[in-house]
Amino acid sequence: MRCPFCKEDHDRVVDSRSSDAGRIIRRRRQCLACKKRFTTYEKIGESFKLCVVKKDNSRVPYDRDKIIGGLQKACYKRPISAEQIQQIADKAEEDIFRNFDKEVSSTFVGESVMKHLRDVDKVAYIRFASVYRDFEDAGELIEEVSQAIQETEYIGQPKLFDT
């Protein structure tokens, strides 16, 4: 991004936030030449070109709809509104856009979504995790499920297999 003060094209991202349901990303940048800070607004689909690096090293354009699609599947028949799904995606995007502006690993994207989904619904979280996280073995998955059940009972949500 070209610095508005000295016109150099070397900067680092200091902070990023998304707004308008993740459609617009506001970035604070610092010019590495003159050290001045400036703000840019990027609209997804125009100048915004974040790549997701998959495990096989192939790259695909970042696509919020894929996150939403994954969440919808995980939240099937769970008491989670469309608005909550959007909010989870917003929070995950905050994590993603704050840390990366060119490339992000698919693992980081998956983990960010899981982290915020876990706060909302443990069943949906387990469903999501079983698809996106490569559990080493069944033992690891069971451990994760047991942990989620304990927390679910503790906060008095519906029981895990009670769907």
Q: What is the binding site for Zn ion (CB under 5 A)?
A: 3, 5-6, 8, 31, 33-34
In the structure encoding, which two tokens stand for residue 140, read together?
Answer: 């690891």
CB 6 → Zn ion: shortest distance, Å? Answer: 3
CB 35 → Zn ion: shortest distance, Å? Answer: 7
Nearer to Zn ion by Cβ, of 14 and 142: the residue is 14
Q: How far apart are the C-alpha atoms of 123 and 129, rounded to whole Å?
A: 10
CB 101 → Zn ion: shortest distance, Å? Answer: 17
Residue with tokens 């610092």: 30
Nearest to 96 by CA among 40, 10, 155, 27: 27
Nearer to Zn ion by Cβ, of 3 and 92: the residue is 3
Nearest to 98 by CA among 138, 50, 46, 64: 50
CB 37 → Zn ion: shortest distance, Å? Answer: 9
Nearest to 104 by CA among 48, 45, 70, 54: 54
Nearer to Zn ion by Cβ, of 15 and 143: the residue is 15
Nearer to Zn ion by Cβ, of 29 and 64: the residue is 29
